[in-house]
């Protein structure tokens, strides 16, 4: 028997970052959005834990761990331990989310695995328990369960769905080489040693509630952007190139190095993607918001 669950990439419409906490994390005030790039996780009972990763399209999977460090395997083990079940599973990840790019692909895989094994094994985990387990796996795994548009506080794990009736389009420009998230946070602390609490995204939340797609675009912000650019100066030139061809806001995705262009319509996003293609640059187009982790192939 196998079962497939799909989980989406995330972007941060706003990413406010406070100073470092005693536990090494940073307080965040962020607005997440799930966008239409997906990893599919297919689970099957097995004698021992294992994971296989297969690229979808151009995605380079070289950096994905295939041992117990893989976040999807950790998610499966955590769920089994939580229920005291002695079972294991083989996981196949069909990876459409660029790796180590600030799009939370590993978190998507973890969320998908929690949902898939909960169903496969008939565990009926309560929603709150699933969110708690997700938070133990990573700061943005709870969001990957929910999808949509969500305010994240704490270290990002405290999630609250936001009313956001508007939809939009994203041009996603991945980088050939990933960036380490802890390194980007450390660089931010170095650049900004006296940071206060994160800025609440009040205006953005209001624009989202009003379905004001243009207003949302004007309020996109990412506190990690300067730190990522400091570690990867070539990104500034890539961002300029994207601004040159895109009539709208451009920003870094999460801790980067993926760059995003925001568009109100599919036509605008596609026009930007085509202009990049003319310059020999491959970008993806994805709608937002989309659903969180959900079953696409029931047990068969």
The catalytic site residues sit at 10, 140
**From candidates 5, 9, 28, 227, binder to ligand C5P by CB under 6 A:** 28
Contacts of 150 (CB under 8 A, 6+ apart): 31, 32, 33, 143, 159, 160, 161, 162
Judged by CB under 6 A, the stretch of 72-80, 178-186, 215-223, 242-250 that binds ligand C5P is 178-186
Gap between the Cα atoms of 202 and 173, Å rounded: 28
**From candidates 6, 74, 155, 232, binder to ligand C5P by CB under 6 A:** 155
Gap between the Cα atoms of 113 and 90, Å rounded: 10
Judged by CB under 6 A, the stretch of 59-67, 82-90, 134-142, 275-283 that binds ligand C5P is 134-142
Q: Which is nearer to ligand C5P, 37 or 135 (CB)?
A: 135
Q: Which is nearer to ligand C5P, 104 or 276 (CB)?
A: 104
CA angle 281, 216, 201 (to 5 degrees): 115
Gap between the Cα atoms of 50 and 7, Å rounded: 19
Q: Tell whether residue 185 is a contact of ligand C5P (CB under 6 A).
A: yes
CA 121 to chain centre: 26
Q: Tell whether residue 182 is a contact of ligand C5P (CB under 6 A).
A: yes
Q: Tell whether residue 138 is a contact of ligand C5P (CB under 6 A).
A: yes
Q: Which is nearer to ligand C5P, 137 or 245 (CB)?
A: 137
Gap between the Cα atoms of 261 and 263, Å rounded: 7
Residue 106 corresponds to which tokens in the numbers above? 């590993």
Q: Tell whether residue 270 is a contact of ligand C5P (CB under 6 A).
A: no
What SS3 class is residue 288?
strand
Shortest distance in whole angstroms from residue 78 CB to ligand C5P: 13
Q: Tell whether residue 25 is a contact of ligand C5P (CB under 6 A).
A: yes
Q: Which is nearer to ligand C5P, 39 or 140 (CB)?
A: 140
Q: Which is nearer to ligand C5P, 181 or 253 (CB)?
A: 181
**Residues contacting ligand C5P: total by CB under 6 A:** 11
Shortest distance in whole angstroms from residue 129 CB to ligand C5P: 19
CA 161 to chain centre: 16
Judged by CB under 6 A, the stretch of 20-28, 231-239, 244-252, 257-265 that binds ligand C5P is 20-28
In order, the DSSP letters of 115-169 are HHHHHHTT----HHHHHHHHHHH-TTHHHHHHBSEEEEETTTTEEEE------EE
Chain residues binding ligand C5P by CB under 6 A are 25-26, 28, 138-140, 155-156, 181-182, 185
């Amino acid at each position: 028997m196998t079962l497939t669950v799909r989980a989406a990439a995330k972007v941060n419409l706003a990413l406010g970052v406070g100073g470092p906490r005693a536990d090494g994390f940073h307080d965040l005030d962020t607005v997440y959005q799930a966008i239409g790039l997906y990893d599919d996780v297919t689970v099957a009972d097995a004698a021992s834990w294992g994971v296989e990763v297969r690229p979808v399209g151009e995605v380079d999977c070289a950096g994905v761990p295939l041992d117990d460090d893989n976040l999807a395997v950790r998610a499966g083990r955590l769920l089994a331990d939580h229920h005291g079940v002695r079972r294991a599973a083989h996981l196949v990840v069909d990876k459409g989310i660029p790796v180590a790019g600030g799009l939370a692909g590993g978190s998507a895989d973890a969320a998908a695995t929690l949902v898939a094994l909960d169903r496969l094994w008939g565990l009926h985990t309560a929603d709150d328990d699933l969110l708690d387990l997700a938070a133990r796996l990573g700061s943005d795994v709870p969001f990957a369960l929910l999808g949509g548009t969500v305010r994240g506080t704490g270290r990002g794990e405290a999630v609250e769905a936001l009313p956001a009736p508007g939809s939009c389009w994203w041009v996603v420009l991945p980088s050939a080489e990933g960036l380490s998230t802890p390194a980007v946070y450390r660089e931010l602390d170095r650049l900004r040693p006296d940071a206060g609490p994160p800025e609440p995204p009040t205006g953005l939340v209001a624009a989202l509630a009003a379905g004001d797609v243009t207003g949302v675009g004007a309020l996109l912000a990412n506190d990690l952007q300067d730190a990522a650019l400091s570690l990867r100066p070539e990104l500034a030139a890539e961002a300029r190139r994207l601004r040159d061809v895109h009539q709208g806001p451009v920003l870094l995705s999460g801790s980067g190095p993926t760059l995003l262009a925001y568009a109100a319509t599919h036509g605008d996003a596609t026009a930007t993607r085509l202009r990049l293609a003319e310059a020999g640059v491959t970008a993806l187009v994805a709608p937002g918001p989309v659903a969180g982790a959900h079953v696409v192939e029931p047990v068969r």
